[in-house]
Structure 1
Amino acid sequence: MNEELNIPTTTVNGIGKQKAESLKELGIETVYDLLMYVPFRYEDFSVRPLETVRHDEKATVQGKIYGEPVVRYFGKKKSRLSVRLLVGPLMVTVVAFNQAYLRDRLTPGQDVVVTGKWDQHRMTITAQYIKSDREVSDQSYLPVYPLKGNWKQQTLRRYIRLAYEQFSHLLDDTLPNQLREAYRLMSLSESLRALHFPEGEADLKQARRRMVYDELLRFQLKVQAYRKQKREEEEGKVSAGPREEMDRFISSLPFTLTNAQNRVLDEVYTDMKSPYRMNRLLQGDVGSGKTIIAAAALYATVMKGYQGALMVPTEILAEQHTTSLTELFEPLGIRVGHLSGSQTKKQKREQLERVASGEINVVVGTHALIQEGVHFHNLGLVITDEQHRFGVEQRRILREKGETPDVLFMTATPIPRTLAISAFGDMDVSVIDELPPGRKPIDTRWAKPNMLDDVLRFIRREVQKGRQAYVICPLIEESDKLDVQNAIDVHAQLQLAFQDTNVGLMHGRLGAEEKDAVMGEFVDQKVQILVSTTVVEVGVNVPNATVMVIYDAERFGLAQLHQLRGRVGRGAEQSYCVLLADPKSDVGKERMQIMTETNDGFELSERDLELRGPGDLLGKKQSGLPEFSVADLTRDQRTLEVARQDAIKLIASEAFWSREEYVPLREWLEAEGVLEQKALD
C-alpha cells in the first residue's frame, strides 16, 4: 500500500463529501482504492470496415446518413427509429429502439459512427449508440467498472481520470526491479494508466499481464510465508521406517504400481522422513489406486513404531477399508482396529482400550475417531479420505489426537491444479493422474427423456445377467418450483416396472443407520436397483454394479456427474452410464457431450472450470478461494505456477528477509498479518 495515497477521496479535485460517501458503496474510501478500482471488461469502440464484422457480432462502423430517419411508435413510450447508412460500398439499415430524439440530430449527408449488432442476412445494424464524428472519444477502448446504486460509468471514469492525473506520481512500485526486468513488466503507474485509459489491445494486454502477476505473487507470498512460519513453530517428526521395508511391502503386492502411484509414494515418503509435519493433499480419480498409497504410508508409520488412523465419511466405507487393510496387514503382524458409531458399548470399549495401549497399530473409522474418549498411544499419521466431507474443526480434532502427526488428505474429486494450489495453498498437492492397466472405460451415453423405455429395457437386460444398477435423481420429492424427477416418484415407477426385482430407495432425509442398511442390502446384492439422490456420490465399492442412470443430468456439474459415474466400473464387466437429459442451454448440451467424450476426471475438471468458473466449481462459501481483482484462475494458470515458484524461492531466500529492494513486499506481508500467523483468508 502506498501510504501517501491512503487519504480520503475528497482530496481529489472535483470530488465533494457527498460523492465521497457515495464512493464508499463501491468499497472506495481512499485515493489508492480509487486508482486500484479496475474494470472487469472493456467496450471496443474502434472503427472497423463492415466487411470484417461477423454476423451477430457487435462492432463500431463509420458511415454517411442517406435519407431522412423514420420513427414508428408502438406500445407505451416505445419507439423504433430507422435510417439508411452508406458504409463503404454497402447500403445498410440502422435501427435504434427508444431513441426517437435522434431523428432531429441525424441529417442526410452527415458522417456518423454507429455501435451495434450486425445482422448480415437483413443488412441491418441494431444500434446501441449513434454519434456524430465530433462526439466520438479519442479512447476507442472504454473501461466498464462494477457499479452499484445510481453510479454511471461516465461519472466513475471521470473521477478515476482526475485521481490519476493528480496522484499517479505518488504510486510506488512494490515489485522489485529484478522481477520486473526478468518478465519485462510495466511499472504500477504505467499498468494502471493502461488499464483505465488503454491506447489499444496490446497496451491493455501488457497492463493486465503485470497486474495478474502482481496479484498472484502477493497471494503466493502470503501462502508461502504462512507455511514457513507454521513449519518453524510446529516440531514435526520422522514418522516413516526404512525405505527398504516399505519397498518390500510394495513388492509383496499381487500387482505392480503405476508410474503415477510410484511418483506420489515418493512424495509422501519424503514428507514422512523429513523433520517437518506432512500436510499433503492426494488427488486421484475414482479407481486410480489412492488406497494403496494410504496403505503403504500406514505401513511405513507402523514400521517406525507409530500408530496410523484413517477417517472415512461412511460406516460402510469404514468397514470395507477395515476388511481390505486387515487382509493386507494381518499376515505381516500389523493389527487393524475399527471404530464406528454403530458398535455396542462393549465393542467400543474394547477397541478404545487396545488403541490407547498401542496394541492396535492402524485404526479405521468414521467421525467416531474424533470423539472425546478416543486416546491414541502414539499417533504418527492421520489420513482423511474424501476430506471435503469433514469440517475443518473435525479434521483439526483428529490431528490433535497425537503430537504433530503427519497429515494426508485424500479426495477422488478431481480439482484443477490451479484451484488446488489456490484453495489448498498451505498444502502440498500430489496427483495420481494414471489409471491401473486393464480397467475398462465406462461406456457413457446421452439419452433424451423420450428414450426412457429403451433405458429401462437396458437396465432389465443387465439385471437379468445378475448385475446391479444405480438410478440417481436430483430431488427427494416433488417440487412446485422445479420440473425435475424426484427419487420417491422414480422409486414408485421402477417398482411397478420391475415387479420381480428388489428396488431400494436412499436419500438424505434417511438417518445414518437407515442409509447404511439400504446400502448394505445393495452391497450384499439383496437389492438389484438402487434409486438414490446424490448421497451415493461418495461411497462404497460395489463391483457387481454395472449401470448408472442419472435423471435430469443437465442439473449437475461435470465433476459431480463424473463422481456419480465412478460408482460403477469397479468390476471386471463392462459398465455403462446413461445421462437422461434434455438441456435447454448451450452449457448443458456441452456438458453432456464432454461426458460422452472422456472418462478422464482431470480433463473434465479443467473443462468444468472453463464452463462454471472457480467459485461455482468449489462452492463459493466453501471454496477458500481468494478474491482477485484482475487475475482469473481459469485463464491465468501458467502465471499462477510462475508466481508460486517465485514466491517459494523468495520466502526461502535470505535476501528476501534482509535486502532493501524487498522492503515494500515485507511491509505488505506484515500489514496483512501473515507474519503474526493470522489465518489465511
Structure 2
Amino acid sequence: MSLDLDQISVRKINGVSALKEGELHAFGVSTVKELLEYYPFRYEDYRLRSLSEVKDGERVTIQAKIAGAPVLQRYGGKSRLTCKMLAENWMFSATWFNRHFLKEQLTAGREIVLTGKWDQRRLQLTVSESDFPDKGISRSGTLQPVYSIGGKITQAWIRKTMNQALQQYGEMIPEILPPHLIQKYRLMPRKQAIAGIHQPSDTGEGQQARRRMVYEELFLFQLKMQAYRALNHGKMDGVVHTADNTTIREFVRSLPFELTDAQKKVELEILHDMRSPYCMNRLLQGDVGSGKTVVAAIALYTTVRSGNQGALMVPTEILAEQHMRSLQRMFQPFGVTVALLTGSVTGKKRKDVLASLQMGLTDIVVGTHALIQEEVFFRQLGLVVTDEQHRFGVNQRSVLRRKGYNPDVLTMTATPIPRTMAITAFGDMDVSTLSERPKGRIPITTHWVKHDMMDRVLGFIRREVDQGRQAYLICPLIEESDKLDVQNAIDLHVQMQQAFPQFKVGLLHGRMTSGEKDEVMRDFYSNDLQLLISTTVVEVGVDVPNATLMVIMDADRFGLSQLHQLRGRVGRGAHASFCILVADPKSEVGRERMEVMTDTEDGFEVARRDLDLRGPGDFFGTKQSGLPEFRLADMVADYEVVEQAREDAAALVSDASFWTSPSYSLLREHLRKEQVFQGDLID
C-alpha cells in the first residue's frame, strides 16, 4: 500500500507506451501498484515432460530437436506446416496451422520447445506455441499466468510487462501486515507473495502466495469496517427523528393487515436508530414477499412526521412506479405527498417535482438513478432508503446520501444471506432480518415435471389464463445456442403464440432497452399481456398481483437462490399461485435443486441448502448479493479466513497502540486513503 507505488504511473515501466497506457486504463490499471495487484485468474503449465508419460489428447510441453526439412502446404488462404522432430528416443511430427512464417526458422539440428496437443496414434503434436532456446526466450519449465485481458493487450505482452514491473519496482513493495499476524499464520512476506502470484516456481508456491494475499485483502477490508465502526458508530451526528409512538401507531393501525412479529421487531430496531442523535446505517434483509416495503413505509412516515423528507431509490422505472402507487395508497389518509422522479418524468412535470422537493412541498420522492442528478435538491432530507442495494454502485448511493446532512440510511435486499455472513460482510452496518411471511399470504405450490409432460403444463397455463389470471414463462437463453440444448426465449415466444392464439404473449430479455422492457412490463401489469416469456431480467422486485403461475423452463440450469427469486414473482395477490419447474436434470446436484424447491418456500433455508449444494464458489451468483468484490478472496470459499481477519482487525483496532505506534503507520495510511477518518459512511 506504499504511497510510492500508488503514485508511480505505469508509463514509468519500460516498454509501456502511451497507447498501451490507455489500454491498461480500460482494465482500471493506472499505477504500478494497480498493475502488480492485477492478478492472473489461472496458470498454464509449461513444465517439460517426457512423451512416455503423456496420455493421448493431453496438452504437453516438450523439448525436441528438429530432425528433418519442414513441409508447407497452402489451401484456401490457410496453411499447414509439418516437420519431423526427435525427443529422447521418439520420432514424431509437429504440425502448425497458419504459421507459415516459421518455415525459415525450422533448421535441422536446432533445439525447439513445443507446446501442444499429443496424438498418440499418429505420433503427432499439434503445436499451439513454440520457442527457440537459442533466442533466449522460453516458457519451458514454468507455470505461466493467464490474465483477464482484451483490446490490443496480449498475454505475452502483459506477462513481459509484469516481469518488467517486478524487476523495476519489486524491491519497493512494502510489508503492510503486522509481524505478529505474519508469524501467527506463517504467511509469506508481501514482496515474495506478489511475485509468487505472477511467477510461481511451482503450484505450492502459487498456493502459498495466494493464501497470503487473500488474508491481506480480507484483513484490510475488515480493518476498514472495524475502524469505521470504532470511530463513527454511534458518533456521527445525524437527523434526530422526533415523531412519537402514538403518531406512528395510528399509521400502523390504518394498514389493511397486521404486522408480523418479525416486522414489529425490525420496526423497533429502526425507530430506535432514527430517534438517536447519530446516523443510522442499517441493512434490512428479508425473503421475497416478507414485507420489507411496509417496514420502509413506517420509517418514511416517521421521517415526514418529524418534519423531514424521505427518498426511496430503486433500480428500475417499473419498480419505482409500483412503490409510488403502494406508498400513495398507504399515505393518502394522512396527507403525506409522494412524487415520482425517473428518466421518463420530463418537461414541466419534472420541473414541478424538482421545485416541490426543493421547497419542501413534497414529503417523499420515489425514483431511479434520476434522484442522484445534480439538479435534485431537498429542503430537509431525513431518510434515504435504497431497495435491492446491490444494483447500485457505491458512488450512486453515497451521492444520494450527500443530498442531506447525514440522513439516516436504510438499505434493503431480498437476497437471503446467512446472518453471520451478513454481519461479517457488512461490518459497518447493523443488520435486521425479516424471517417470516406476512399473515394471510397464500403459500406457492411448487411442482417439478419432466419435458415430456409439457402438454399438461400448457393445459395448466390455459386453465389459469381462462380464469383471468396471468403467467410467466422463464428460459435461460435469449436465442438458440449450439452449445446448450436448452429452451430459448425467442423460440418459446413463437411456440406460445401458436399454442395460445387467443392470448396476448409478450417477450422480455436483457438485450432490450430499458424503455422497451418497461413498456412490456407495463402491458403485463395492466393485463394487456396474459403470458410473459422472459429471461431472468424479471427476477427482482416486480409485483403483478394478478400473475399466479411461474413456469421455469430447464430449471436445472439455474441456481437455487435464483429459482427462489423467480418463484417470488407470483403469490402476491389473493389467488392461489403455482410454480412449475420443467427439467430433466442430468446431474445429482440438478435433481437435488428441484427437490429443495419442492420441499421448502423459506428463502433462508433455500440459501443454506444452496451453499451446501453448490459448495462455496459461486453461491451468490453474479453480483447478486451486494457483498463486496475482491481481487482474490471469495466471501464464501474463504469464509474461515473472513472470520479470522475480522477477529484480528477488531483486536488491532481496540488496541490503543494501533492509533499511535509508528509500526502501524502504513495501515493507518491505508485507512486514511479509504476515507475512514472523514466520517462518511463507507460501502
Which TM bucket (shorter chain)? 0.5 to 0.7
Q: Are 1:45 and 2:51 matched, yes or no? A: no
The residue type equivalent to 2:579 in the other structure is Y
After superposition, the CA RMSD in angstroms is 6.7
Where does residue 623 of structure 2 map in the other structure? 617
- Structure 1 position 567, deviation (Å): 1.4
Please list, as runs of the form range in 1=range in 2, the aligned pairs for 1:61-80 lying within 5 A after superposition: 73-75=73-75, 76-80=78-82
Within a 5 Å distance, the mapping from 1:58-457 to structure 2 comes to 58-60=59-61, 73-75=73-75, 76-81=78-83, 95-98=94-97, 104-105=107-108, 115-117=115-117, 126-128=126-128, 139-144=141-146, 168-222=170-224, 234-236=236-238, 239=241, 257=261, 268=270, 271-272=273-274, 274-291=276-293, 293-294=295-296, 311=312, 313-320=319-326, 335=334, 337=336, 339-340=338-339, 381-387=383-389, 404-413=406-415, 427-432=429-434, 440=443, 443=446, 455-457=457-459
Q: Aligned residues, how many?
A: 631
Residues of 1 paired with 2:299 and 2:565: CA distance? 25
Q: Residues 380 and 122 from structure 1, CA distance in 2 versus in 1: closer, same or farther, beyond 3 angstroms?
A: same
Deviations 1:110-153 (A, max 9, x none): 9x976434568888654445789999878532344567888776
1:548/1:568 contact within 8 Å kept:
yes
Contact persistence 1:224–1:647 (CA under 8 A): yes
Q: Which residue of 2 aligns with 1:458?
A: 460
Distance 1:130-1:291 versus aligned 2 partners, 3 A rule:
closer
Contact 1:321 1:364 in 2 (8 A): no
Q: What is the rounded CA distance, in whole Å, between the counterparts of 2:399 and 2:434 in structure 1?
A: 28
1:535-561: CA deviations, max 9, x gaps? 865556555532234689999998776
Amino acid at match of 2:461: I
Distance in 1, Cα, partners of 2:496 & 2:563: 24
How many angstroms apart in 2 are the aligned matches of 1:11 and 1:66? Answer: 41
Task: Measure the CA separation in 1 of the matches of 2:398 and 2:642.
Answer: 28
SS at match of 2:95: strand
The one-character-per-residue Cα deviations of 1:134-174 (angstroms, maximum 9, x if unpaired) are 99878532344567888776777677667656765554312
Q: CA deviation at 1:460?
A: 0.8
Tell me how far 1:459 sits from its aligned partner: 0.9
State TM-score, norm by structure 2. 0.65
In structure 2, what residue type is equivalent to 1:58? R
Note the 1:481-630 alignment, pairs <5 A.
493=497, 497-499=500-502, 518=523, 521-522=526-527, 529=531, 537-538=539-540, 541-542=543-544, 545-549=547-551, 563-570=565-572, 573-577=576-580, 598=597, 600=603, 602=607, 617=623, 628=631, 630=632
Distance 2:301 2:40 in 1: 54
Q: 1:151, 1:528 → 2: CA distance?
A: 49
Structure 2: distance between partners of 1:373 and 1:36: 38
Q: 2: distance between equivalents of 1:503 and 1:21? A: 53
Any conservation in 1 of the 2:340–2:365 contact (CA below 8 Å)? no
The verdict on how the C-alpha distance between 1:269 and 1:487 changes in structure 2, with shifts beyond 3 A counting, is farther
Which amino acid in the other structure matches residue 46 of structure 2? F
Structure 1 residues 65 and 409 mapped into 2: Cα distance closer, same or farther (>3 Å)? same
Equivalent position SS for 2:220: helix
Change (3 A) 1:272 1:57: farther
Alpha-carbon distance in 2 for matches of 1:527, 1:147: 43
CA contact (8 A) 1:473 1:552 kept: yes
Give the distance between the partners of 2:144 and 2:634, measured in 1 at CA.
20
What code does the residue aligned with 1:662 have? Y
Residues 294 and 116 of structure 1: CA distance in aligned 2, closer, same or farther (over 3 Å): same
Contact 1:116–1:127 (CA under 8 A) maintained in structure 2: yes
Aligned partners of 2:10, 2:197: CA distance in 1, in Å? 23
Residues 46-81 of structure 1, C-alpha deviation per residue, up to 9 Å, x if partnerless?
45687987775534578x999979957352432245
CA distance in 2, matches of 1:613, 1:625: 11
Residue 419 of structure 1: how far off its partner (Å): 11
- SS of residue in 2 equivalent to 1:174: coil
Change (3 A) 1:60 1:664: same
- How far off is 1:664 after superposition? 1.5
SS of the aligned residue for 1:661 comes to helix
SS of the equivalent of 2:623 reads: helix
CA shift at 1:410, angstroms?
Answer: 1.8
Give runs of aligned pairs for residues 620-659 of structure 1, distance below 5 A: 628=631, 630-631=632-633, 635-636=637-638, 638-640=640-642, 642-644=644-646, 646-647=648-649, 650-651=652-653, 653-659=655-661
Separation in 1, partners of 2:94, 2:418: 45
Structure 2: state its 5+ residue gaps: 342-348, 480-486
Q: Which letter maps to 2:183?
A: E
What's the secondary structure of 1:210's corresponding residue? helix
What is the CA–CA distance in structure 2 between the aligned matches of 1:275 and 1:537, rounded to whole Å?
38
Q: Is the 8 A contact 1:284 1:432 kept in 2?
A: yes
Equivalent position amino acid for 1:176 in 2: P
Q: Deviation of residue 278 (structure 1)?
A: 1.3
Structure 1 length normalisation: TM-score? 0.65
Q: How far apart, in 2, do the equivalents of 1:341 and 1:166 lie?
A: 56
SS of the counterpart of 1:208?
helix
**Relative to structure 1, is the Cα distance of residues 201 and 256 closer, same or farther in structure 2, using a 3 angstrom cutoff?**
same
**Cα separation, partners in 2 of 1:573 and 1:26, compared to 1, 3 Å:** closer
